[in-house]
């Protein structure tokens, strides 16, 4: 692919302002992890937190609320004592899995080259 050879539809009038929050949401590292985990099956809050590991309770809550607001995740409260809350992907959320899987595959395939580039860059900066 050469510069300018993109397959991105023209952004309609004012589209960049509308598109930026969506791209910000789906480009967030926590969103990516939550979507991938929920792509396997529905999960409870603490199960998601354990699976992700390094996310704070506040950040997971913020991420899940944003995904629910955007229509990517469905939150279901089950009437039990204590109440049980499950999170699952909506059809829109499932439609995001494929591009995220491609992005993940690209990252894995290119990690050696990226890490080598980072080492070269850091060495040049340190030498300067």
pLDDT in tens, 19-72: 888 888 888 889 999 999 999 999 999 999 999 999 999 999 999 999 999 999
Alpha helices in 6-90 (DSSP H): 15-27, 29-40, 45-52, 57-69
CA angle, corner 82, sides to 80 and 86, nearest 5? 70
Query: What is the predicted pLDDT for the residue at 56?
Result: 95
Query: What is the predicted pLDDT for the residue at 12?
Result: 52
Provide the whole-model pTM.
0.77
- Taking residues 82-104, report their average pLDDT: 92
pLDDT band at residue 4 under the 50/70/90 scheme: low
Query: What is the predicted pLDDT for the residue at 82?
Result: 85
- What domains does the chain contain, in order, with CATH numbers? 16-127 (1.10.10.10)
């Amino acid at each position: 692919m050469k510069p300018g050879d993109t397959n991105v539809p023209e952004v309609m009038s004012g589209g960049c302002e509308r598109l930026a929050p969506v791209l910000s949401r789906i480009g967030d590292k926590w969103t990516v992890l939550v979507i991938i985990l929920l792509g396997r099956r529905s999960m409870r809050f603490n199960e998601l937190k354990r699976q992700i590991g390094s996310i704070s309770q506040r950040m997971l809550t913020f991420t899940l609320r944003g995904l629910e607001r955007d229509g990517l995740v469905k939150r279901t409260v089950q009437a039990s004592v204590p109440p049980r809350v499950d999170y699952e992907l909506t059809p829109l959320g499932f439609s995001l899995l494929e591009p995220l899987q491609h992005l993940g595959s690209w990252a894995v395939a290119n990690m050696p080259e990226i890490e080598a580039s980072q080492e070269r860059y850091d060495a040049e900066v340190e030498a300067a």
